[in-house]
Amino acid sequence: MTEGPAETPPAETLSVEQLATRVGMSVRTVRFYAGRGLIPPPRREGRNGYYGPDHIARLELVRELQAHGFTLSAIERYLENIPESAPPERVALHRTLLAPWTTDLPETVTRDELQVRTGRPLSDDDLELLVAIGVVEPTPDDDIFRVAPAHLAVGVQFLETEMPIDVALAARKIFDAAGKKAAHDVTELFRTLWWPALRSSGRSAEDITSQVERFKPLTIQALVTAYETAVDEAKRETVRRRS
């Protein structure tokens, strides 16, 4: 007797306990979100419910929204705009759009650990400068700081310039204002022009995700290039005025 082709098992094969482990939540939290309609009902087999990629994608998006400070009501409103028929890849794309652009997340370190990482002793003035330029973030504990490791090398270079603290504070205000303005304008450009074009292009969700991921470093490099060009032009203008 010839056997027919093996049946493809359904995608929804996770128990609620396995789903909770997969997304890093408690079972109680998963059930709470399910009760609020943040994820679709599970596939039922008798009294057992099974979950799959769609549930994973939506719960991971919920977690990303929480990390950005969204309230539960705001998360519910956000998810209402994603059709129930949206495949997991499309839901994951929303998470990609929300993902932080920083290369690593801040770590909590002691003053001694910070000195080890910078490879030099840090005076109170040094720490004040690192805080002023945004490399180090103070905490209520005077001996504990938050720092993004990737930024430390830049902080050390600032220390080596022996920049006065008032200059550092003034420079940070300039960079913060310029950064916020550029971020707002580029975000609006993406939201109103490029994103609609991507959605109507017929590309797959995976391809769109790839395009968005490429957009991040290209945008940062474009800002660096524009700043370098502007500084050179400012120097030339200064020379012209003096001449």
Q: Which of 112, 130, 163 is the last residue of a domain?
A: 163
Q: Which of 110, 129, 163 is the last residue of a domain?
A: 163
- Structural domain including 155 reads 101-163
What is the pLDDT, as a whole number, of residue 202?
86
Q: Which of 163, 182, 202 is the last residue of a domain?
A: 163
What is the pLDDT, as a whole number, of residue 11?
63
If asked whether residues 132 and 83 sit together in one domain, one would say no
If asked whether residues 128 and 86 sit together in one domain, one would say no
More confident residue, 96 or 225: 225
**C-alpha span between 29 and 25 (Å, rounded):** 6
- How many domains does one find in the chain? 2
**C-alpha span between 138 and 144 (Å, rounded):** 7
**Digit-coded pLDDT (tens) for 190-214:** 889 888 888 888 888 888 888 888 8
CATH of the domain at 130: 3.30.56
Number of helices (H), then strands (E), belonging to the chain: the values are 11, 5
Amino acid at site 9: P
List CB contacts of 145: < 8 A, sequence separation 6 or more.
108, 109, 110, 111, 114, 127, 136, 137, 138, 139
CATH of the domain at 59: 1.10.1660.10
The H or E element that residue 109 is part of is strand 107-110
**Digit-coded pLDDT (tens) for 57-115:** 999 999 988 888 888 999 999 898 888 888 888 888 888 877 766 656 678 999 999 99
If asked whether residues 128 and 85 sit together in one domain, one would say no
If asked whether residues 66 and 30 sit together in one domain, one would say yes
